[in-house]
Amino acid sequence: MTQTSSRLNMLTLVMHHEWKLLRADRSLALVLGLLALMIGYGFYNGLKETQVRDQMVATVIKSEAAVAKANLESLRQVNAGTLKPGPFDNPANPATIGNGSGRHAVIHSAALAPIAIGQSDMMPNYYRIGTRSKVEFMYDSEIESPWNLLSGHFDLGFIMVFLLPLLIFALTYNLLSSEREAGTQRMLLSQPLSIGTLVAGKLLVRAIAVLLVASLLPIILLLLFRPEIRAASQIGGLLLWSGLIVGYGAFWFALAFAVNSLRLSSAANALILIASWTMLVLVVPVLLNLLAEQVSPAPSRTELAIQTRVIQADNLRRYDDLFSGDYRYIDEPESLLAKSGRIEVPERTRASFLARRDMDRRIDILLDRFDEQLEQQQSVVDRTSFTSPAIILYEGLTAIAGTDGRRYLAFRQDVSAFHDRWRRFFEPRVLNGIAMTEQDLLALPEWRRAERTVTDVMQDNLWRLALLLCTAVIIAIIGSLTLRRYRLA
């Protein structure tokens, strides 16, 4: 007990002395100041992006409500005979309402969205649902990899994944070599001080200071500028964020400790650490990204385009008679009016509805393959993420922020299901010429989506935190075993 107490006292003394040295040469203050500035700027970028997307969703919802109100008022005026409907804005025509005045499927930003932009800038946060084919509004952009670490966004996720390790290296690459190269190491260890206590004291001072700023400053900024985060339900997400940052930082501090225990020069230590960072943060993620694409390649977009054109051509032949129908409403505008609950849907409009319905029925298999392959690619990334702490952290941060590929894939699948439900609502009305009523307009299918709870997100990501911490402990143990063979010059 006395020996343990003595070691703790010596460790405290070393930490106190190291703190004074770091304050004197201002290296720690410089690193912490730079880290704080980057965190502030990264948070600003993430918050700005999130606010833009939130405003987009709010505008879409407001516009949808205005259109619904205008349609209802127009229908009342048409039924009262005070308004003459046009061929393309007839509120009594189910084809007009079904395609021209559809609902919007939206995905709201999560409370912690500013911490990582993730895939939010690559994936739409809303779709306008109508009776047109899914190909026309859901698959008209390039399909990206499910894990795009090299996105280049200077947000908090980018800072923590890419830059935090470099700042740690700046403070730790010469923990022991600096004393040895300055000729003071023998003098220090001539005191009742072990080499382990010396390096532990030096490391702890740096780790505590850096990790406190990295894990707590973003939370403070979130609490100040993101009111949604102040709810009690978000505490778990904040704790998981801090845990992941601490675990990631602990990994790199442990690696720096292990490298210092090899008794190499400061230049060699720096070279090894930078090479490790390059391999684990840059090279391995790219290789795993390529592996995921090889194991589960996405279907060819050329194939999708070709099949789409073939089906479109076939539909044109199938419904040629309807597409070539005349424009009777020009000479007989009264044909646009509803009579006894029935309405004459123009043949071209009916043909367009049928062609788009048949398009989805025939091409849904290929579209489902796109989503299945993306989901399989994500699974490959999850299974191999243990090879890179950068992947573990990035995937964890984007999951907490709600900007991960898995959430957007689930959103797109929900949109597809809602689109099917929307079309089923209008299909009998369009094909049988049933006029829209006020009750129909009020009973249009509503977009609903069940979001995952913070508890669910935490449960799915705790293994990432455990993996980071366990890896850091293992590396630290290896470093400790190596340090036992440390010999003075």
More confident residue, 3 or 457: 457
pLDDT for the residue numbered 466: 95
Residue 489 lies in a domain: no
pLDDT band at 37 (very low <50, low <70, confident <90, very high): very high
Q: What is the mean pLDDT of residues 371-385?
A: 82
Q: Tell the residue number behind the tokens 């460790």, with chain if given.
A: 11
pLDDT for the residue numbered 421: 93
Distance CA 418, CA 131 (A): 11
Distance CA 309, CA 51 (A): 39
Residue 123 lies in a domain: yes
Q: Tell the residue number behind the tokens 């050329």, with chain if given.
A: 302
Residues 6 or more apart whose CB falls under 8 angstroms from that of 139 comprise 304, 367, 370
Distance CA 86, CA 77 (A): 13
Distance CA 338, CA 44 (A): 54
pLDDT tens-digit profile of 60-98?
A: 999 999 999 999 999 999 888 888 887 778 888 898 899
Q: Which amino acid is at 21?
A: L
Tell me: pLDDT of 350 over 90: no
Q: Which amino acid is at 483?
A: L
Long-range contacts of 192-198 (CB under 8 A, 24+ apart): 192/6, 192/10, 193/10, 193/14, 194/7, 195/483, 195/486, 196/480, 196/483, 197/7, 197/10, 197/11, 197/14, 198/14
Residue 488 lies in a domain: no
More confident residue, 489 or 136: 136
pLDDT band at 145 (very low <50, low <70, confident <90, very high): very low
Distance CA 263, CA 424 (A): 72
Tell me: pLDDT of 285 over 70: yes
Of all residues in the chain, the percent with pLDDT exceeding 90 is 46
SS3 104: strand
Distance CA 282, CA 12 (A): 37
Asked if 307 and 366 touch (Cβ cutoff 8 Å), the reply is yes
Q: Which of 84, 148, 58, 39 is nearest to 329 (CA)?
A: 84
pLDDT for the residue numbered 148: 43
Distance CA 359, CA 357 (A): 5
What are the tokens at 371?
């989503």
pLDDT band at 147 (very low <50, low <70, confident <90, very high): very low
Q: Tell the residue number behind the tokens 């000479």, with chain if given.
A: 331
SS3 4: helix
pLDDT band at 395 (very low <50, low <70, confident <90, very high): very high
pLDDT band at 142 (very low <50, low <70, confident <90, very high): very low
Tell me: pLDDT of 4 over 80: no
What are the tokens at 440?
């129909």
Long-range contacts of 301-304 (CB under 8 A, 24+ apart): 301/142, 301/143, 303/366, 304/135, 304/139, 304/363, 304/366, 304/367, 304/370
pLDDT band at 144 (very low <50, low <70, confident <90, very high): very low
Distance CA 199, CA 15 (A): 10
SS3 166: helix
Residue 92 lies in a domain: yes
pLDDT for the residue numbered 291: 85
Quote the number of domains for the chain: 1
pLDDT tens-digit profile of 437-461?
A: 999 999 999 998 888 887 888 888 8
Tell me: pLDDT of 388 over 80: yes
How many C-beta neighbours within 10 Å does residue 65 have? 10
pLDDT for the residue numbered 331: 52
Tell me: pLDDT of 143 over 70: no
pLDDT for the residue numbered 478: 95
Instruction: Give the structural domain span for 61.
Output: 2-483
Give this prediction's pTM.
Answer: 0.87
Question: What is the phi-psi region of residue 183: left when phi exceeds 0, alpha when psi lies from -120 to 50, beta otherwise?
Answer: left
Mean pLDDT (the chain, rounded): 85
Distance CA 328, CA 466 (A): 70
Buried b (16+ CB within 10 A) or exposed e, 324-347: eeeeebeeeeeebbbeeeebbbbb
pLDDT for the residue numbered 151: 46
pLDDT tens-digit profile of 339-348?
A: 888 888 877 7
113 by Cβ neighbours in 10 Å (0-12 / 13-18 / 19+) ranks as: buried
Residue 287 lies in a domain: yes
Tell me: pLDDT of 39 over 90: yes
Q: What is the mean pLDDT of residues 103-131?
A: 88
How many C-beta neighbours within 10 Å does residue 442 have? 9
Distance CA 141, CA 119 (A): 14
Q: Which of 270, 273, 160 is nearest to 213 (CA)?
A: 160
Asked if 449 and 411 touch (Cβ cutoff 8 Å), the reply is yes
Distance CA 468, CA 488 (A): 33
Cα-flanking dihedrals φ and ψ of residue 312, to 5°? -60, -45
